[in-house]
């Protein structure tokens, strides 16, 4: 029997798990996508192929693979990760990182290469030129993070495999919705689904608005010399 308190806890856990996974994935994925767009090195093509292929990984397959690695008899079994909060974050990082890296790479690839050359001609180092290009595509990078968060917030198969969907411990909104459907309560399951959709929309609007406000402040500073 699913209670209201369990739904509240699942809501909070969904926010924390997916938010943390998206943040860590951004820390990994944006530099990876940037490196793939800006530098030439041995094996770059192979890494890029893996990133693009991983963007469409079936969540359940990722969940089963992660389960085999972290289960008690697996290579990382001694860490006791199976059916924990940490396991859920790990599996979501695996799902979100390729998406963020792929979007970041595509955004930077679309920048006019003359921008970096112009920066270098004015005395900027290669790192400074890269940062200038990154600022130019910050809207695309925000979109990458939004896409990564959207990938994991609505995920059910992988988190159920590694988290176990334990009542009041590793249940998130998606697993709660599955349980309610199995209990013959589709209306309640739809309500939980509506909460999940609302959560995703609120986060996306917040990130988009944050980026828009930052861009507006920078534009005002360039024009007037100060920010209102």
| pLDDT tens digits in sequence order for the chain, 228 residues long | 788 899 999 999 999 999 999 999 999 999 999 999 888 889 999 999 999 999 999 999 999 999 999 999 999 999 999 999 999 999 999 999 999 999 999 998 887 777 777 777 777 777 777 778 888 888 889 889 999 999 999 999 999 999 999 987 899 999 999 999 999 999 999 999 999 999 888 888 887 776 665 555 555 555 445 544
Residue 223: predicted pLDDT: 46
Q: How far is CA 6 from CA 10, 20, 37, 179, 208, in A?
A: 6, 21, 44, 12, 30
Q: What share of the chain is helix, strand, coil (3-state, %, to 5)?
A: 80, 0, 20
Structural domains of the chain ordered from first start? 4-172 (1.10.3720.10)
The residues, ordered by sequence, that sit 6+ positions from 35 with a Cβ below 8 Å of its Cβ are none
Judge whether 119 and 45 are in contact, CB under 8 Å.
Answer: no
Tokens of 136: 């130019």
How big is the CA angle at 91 (ends 142 and 169), to the nearest 5 degrees? Answer: 110
Q: What phi-psi label fits residue 81: left (phi over 0), alpha (psi between -120 and 50 degrees) or beta?
A: alpha
Q: How far apart are CA 88 and CA 72, in angstroms?
A: 16
Beta-carbon count within 10 A of 32 CB: 21
The alpha carbon of 213 is separated from its chain's Cα centroid by a whole number of angstroms, namely: 22
Residue 38: predicted pLDDT: 85
Q: What phi-psi label fits residue 165: left (phi over 0), alpha (psi between -120 and 50 degrees) or beta?
A: left
């Amino acid at each position: 029997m699913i209670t209201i308190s369990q739904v509240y806890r699942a809501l909070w856990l969904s926010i924390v798990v997916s938010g943390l996974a998206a943040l860590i994935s951004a820390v990994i994925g944006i530099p990876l996508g940037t490196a793939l767009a800006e530098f030439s090195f041995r094996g770059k093509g192979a890494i890029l192929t893996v990133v693009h292929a991983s963007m469409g990984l079936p969540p359940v397959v990722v969940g089963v693979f992660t389960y085999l690695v972290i289960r008690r008899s697996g290579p990382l079994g001694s860490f006791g990760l199976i059916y924990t909060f940490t396991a859920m974050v790990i599996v979501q990082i695996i799902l979100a990182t390729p998406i963020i890296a792929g979007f970041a790479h595509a955004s930077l690839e679309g920048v006019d290469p003359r921008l970096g050359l112009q920066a270098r001609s004015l005395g900027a180092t290669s790192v400074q030129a890269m940062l200038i290009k990154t600022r130019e595509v910050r809207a695309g990078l925000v979109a990458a993070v939004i896409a990564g968060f959207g990938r994991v917030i609505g995920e059910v198969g992988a988190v159920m495999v590694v988290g176990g969907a334990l009542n009041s411990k590793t249940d998130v909104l998606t697993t709660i919705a599955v349980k309610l459907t199995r209990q013959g309560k589709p209306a309640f399951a739809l309500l939980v689904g509506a909460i999940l959709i609302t959560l995703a929309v609120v986060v996306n609007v917040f990130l988009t608005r944050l980026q828009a406000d930052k861009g507006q402040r920078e534009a005002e500073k360039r024009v007037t010399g100060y920010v209102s």
